[in-house]
Amino acid sequence: MGFRIAVAGATGNVGREIVQVLDERRFPVDDLVALASERSAGTMISFGEHDIRVQDLAGFDFAGIDLVLSATATEVATEHMPRAAKAGAVVVDHSDAFRMEPDVPLVVPEVNGAALARFAKRRIVASPSAMATICALALKPLHDLAGLRRAVVTAMESVSGAGKPAMDELFAQTRAVYVNQPIEREEFPKQIAFNLIPHVDAFMQDGFTREEWRLQAEARKLLGPDIRMVATCVRAPVFVGHAASVVAEFEREIDEQAARRAWRGWLGGEAVGLVDHRVDEGYVTPVEVVGEDKVYVSRVRRDPTSATGLAFWCVGDNLRKGAALNVVQIAELLAQEHLGRG
């Protein structure tokens, strides 16, 4: 027997990818319901060979739904996901509505799959921000080997991380530059085409942005509370693919060769790929990871300023492993280990 699944935010960047990944991975779906705002109600989305009519999330009754995979805005998730859980569904939510709540597990299956066992109290599981997932995957094998103490992260985040309208804005501005028309801005605080913006999400009192705070806090929830991280998040004029420069310090000495072995040997190379040749093209860039499930690590080198430091570059598809794939992998683990099916 399969599952009755509702995808909330099914018309968005992440939601559309969730529907595709469910089909690709042959998740046991008996029935799939697509939910979005009233603006999209009545439009159609494809699930494999089926066309599914989108319904309005606000008026949807979750009774009889087993699993809700949700990728909507924080306020929308805050309003509707507890309602879904109360109706008996288990929710896997990709917004930041519940990520830091102590009784909601925040899960990347390869990093802390055991945390999923705590889903039962709220019936909600949170999936981390794309950048936190990518960094946690790259850091986990090194953390297991040498004990991660501190990381300085400069994140370069693609516009798809800000949703569909943000992708349209990069496209429109790029075109406007070429045809010498005025640049119009709505989604980003400054011009994004041919530029870099060191400002992702709102500023907080201490000068960090919410995205930086999220990355730091989520990394601790995923990897361990003693880890210290300081992040700078920059929006880059890239459609899909988030990257980061990471400088990490460990409790024990770790050399480049040991780090390479740790990455290569971790989970049979399924989750992290190492591409690190010190020649032209010997590293991975965002456009090359589009559609890829793995996170890639390149540019590995000793940090000459620290006896236990290592610097590297990591990159992943923010819509796949950074979002939709992680949500579906959480659902697979729930199905196999906790819901007795799948």
Ligand X SMILES: NC(=O)c1ccc[n+]([C@@H]2O[C@H](COP(=O)([O-])OP(=O)(O)OC[C@H]3O[C@@H](n4cnc5c(N)ncnc54)[C@H](OP(=O)(O)O)[C@@H]3O)[C@@H](O)[C@H]2O)c1
- Counting contacts by CB under 6 A, is residue 40 touching ligand X? yes
- Counting contacts by CB under 6 A, is residue 13 touching ligand X? yes
Strands 90-93 and 295-302, by their bridges, are unpaired
Out of 57, 151, 238, 271, which residue is the one contacting ligand X (CB under 6 A)?
57
- Counting contacts by CB under 6 A, is residue 36 touching ligand X? yes
Out of 55, 318, 326, 329, which residue is the one contacting ligand X (CB under 6 A)?
318
Out of 33, 94, 98, 215, which residue is the one contacting ligand X (CB under 6 A)?
94
Out of 90, 91, 295, 323, which residue is the one contacting ligand X (CB under 6 A)?
323
Strands 67-70 and 228-235, by their bridges, are unpaired
Smallest distance, Å, CB 76 to ligand X?
4
CB closer to ligand X, 42 vs 282: 42
- Counting contacts by CB under 6 A, is residue 210 touching ligand X? no
State the Cα–Cα distance between residues 43 and 62, nearest whole angstrom.
Answer: 20
Among 10-18, 217-225, 261-269, 277-285, the segment contacting ligand X (CB under 6 A): 10-18
Q: Where are the beta strands (DSSP E) in the chain?
A: 3-8, 29-36, 44-47, 50-56, 67-70, 90-93, 124-126, 148-157, 228-235, 242-250, 272-274, 295-302, 309-316
- Counting contacts by CB under 6 A, is residue 321 touching ligand X? no
- Counting contacts by CB under 6 A, is residue 76 touching ligand X? yes
**Distance of alpha carbon 2 from its chain centroid, rounded?**
26
Tokens of 264: 């290569």
- Counting contacts by CB under 6 A, is residue 109 touching ligand X? no
- Counting contacts by CB under 6 A, is residue 300 touching ligand X? no
- Counting contacts by CB under 6 A, is residue 37 touching ligand X? yes
- Counting contacts by CB under 6 A, is residue 12 touching ligand X? yes
State the Cα–Cα distance between residues 315 and 138, nearest whole angstrom.
Answer: 9
Tokens of 43: 């439009």
- Counting contacts by CB under 6 A, is residue 316 touching ligand X? no
Smallest distance, Å, CB 158 to ligand X?
7
Number of helices (H), then strands (E), belonging to the chain: the values are 9, 13
Give, as ranges, the residues between 157 and 196 that touch ligand X (CB under 6 A): 160-161, 163-164
Q: Give, in order, the Cα–Cα distances in Å from 174 to each of 132, 169, 288.
A: 28, 8, 21
State the Cα–Cα distance between residues 216 and 248, nearest whole angstrom.
Answer: 13
Smallest distance, Å, CB 31 to ligand X?
19
- Counting contacts by CB under 6 A, is residue 73 touching ligand X? yes
What are the respective helix, strand and coil percentages of the chain, to the nearest 5? 35, 25, 40
State the Cα–Cα distance between residues 113 and 334, nearest whole angstrom.
Answer: 10
- Counting contacts by CB under 6 A, is residue 322 touching ligand X? yes
CA-based nearest residue to 219, from 278, 275, 119, 139? 139
Out of 3, 5, 6, 14, which residue is the one contacting ligand X (CB under 6 A)?
14
Closest residue to ligand X: CB criterion: 12
CB closer to ligand X, 15 vs 273: 15
Residue 176 near residue 184 (C-beta atoms within 8 A): yes
CB closer to ligand X, 104 vs 259: 104
- Counting contacts by CB under 6 A, is residue 95 touching ligand X? yes
Residue 252 near residue 275 (C-beta atoms within 8 A): no
State the Cα–Cα distance between residues 74 and 307, nearest whole angstrom.
Answer: 42
State the Cα–Cα distance between residues 185 and 325, nearest whole angstrom.
Answer: 31
Residues that bind ligand X (CB under 6 A): 9-15, 36-37, 39-40, 57-58, 71-74, 76, 94-95, 129-130, 160-161, 163-164, 318-319, 322-323
